[in-house]
A = this chain, B = another copy of it.
Amino acid sequence: MVSHMTALSPTEWFAMMQLYAEYDAVVDAAHWERWVQLFTDDCIYRVQPRENFDRGLPLATLSLEGKGMLLDRVFGIRETLFHDPYYQRHVTGPPLVTKVTAEAIELSVNYSVFRTKLSQPTTVFNVGRTIDVVVNTANGLRFSRREFIYDSELIPNSMIYPI
């Protein structure tokens, strides 16, 4: 069979799948230091309602530019932002590779995040798709951009942890 226009090598594909798998494992285990490490220094991390994205409105629910802001978010949720403890759980589909250049790979993935509060039923917390740019670094693949465009515009009270 013919190969896809924007094909990744088997090795690249495997590495990419591991990056996505590790991302989900890390945020769901609340390993925030590791979460930061999965991004490049000048990364963009955004969580934006689909409505704003579709209408070209710039506001995001969470918009972090560069590792410093990611570290500040980690400090914020650990030290200053009072909240109910909860588990989150990501389940994501296969990434769609939209562009491959020498420098970067552009992908998009459908995701679901489930929230479980202590001794309460599990609920659907947030679903949507991502707009990702992955680059290769000395430490392996890293996200230089990760935008979560979410369908779940009516947030069930609050979003404390990065998704």
A contact residues vs B (CB 8 Å cutoff) = 1-4, 6-15, 17-18, 20-22, 24-25, 28, 50, 87, 89-97, 108-112, 114, 116, 118-124, 126-129, 136, 140-141, 151-154, 156
Q: Are B112 and A153 in contact (CB under 8 A)?
A: no
Q: Are A94 and B20 in contact (CB under 8 A)?
A: yes
In the complex, residue of chain B having the shortest beta-carbon distance to the beta carbon of A92: B93
Q: Are B89 and A136 in contact (CB under 8 A)?
A: no
Known contacts A124-B122, A140-B2; A110 and B28 CB within 8 A of each other? yes
In the complex, residue of chain B having the shortest beta-carbon distance to the beta carbon of A8: B14
Copies in the complex: 3
Known contacts A15-B4, A129-B28; A151 and B92 CB within 8 A of each other? no
**With a CB–CB cut-off of 8 A, which chain B residues contact A24?**
93, 110
**With a CB–CB cut-off of 8 A, which chain B residues contact A14?**
3-4, 7-8, 10, 13
Across the interface, A4 reaches (CB within 8 A) one of B7, B127, B140, B153, namely: B140
Across the interface, A114 reaches (CB within 8 A) one of B95, B112, B154, namely: B112
How far, in Å, is A91 (CB) from chain B's closest CB?
A: 5
Across the interface, A93 reaches (CB within 8 A) one of B90, B118, B124, namely: B90
**With a CB–CB cut-off of 8 A, which chain B residues contact A17?**
13, 94
Q: Are B93 and A91 in contact (CB under 8 A)?
A: yes
In the complex, what distance in Å separates the CA atom of A112 from the CA atom of B122? Answer: 10
**With a CB–CB cut-off of 8 A, which chain B residues contact A153?**
116, 118-119
Q: Are A151 and B89 in contact (CB under 8 A)?
A: yes
In the complex, what distance in Å separates the CA atom of A97 from the CA atom of B11? Answer: 14
**With a CB–CB cut-off of 8 A, which chain B residues contact A3?**
11, 14-15
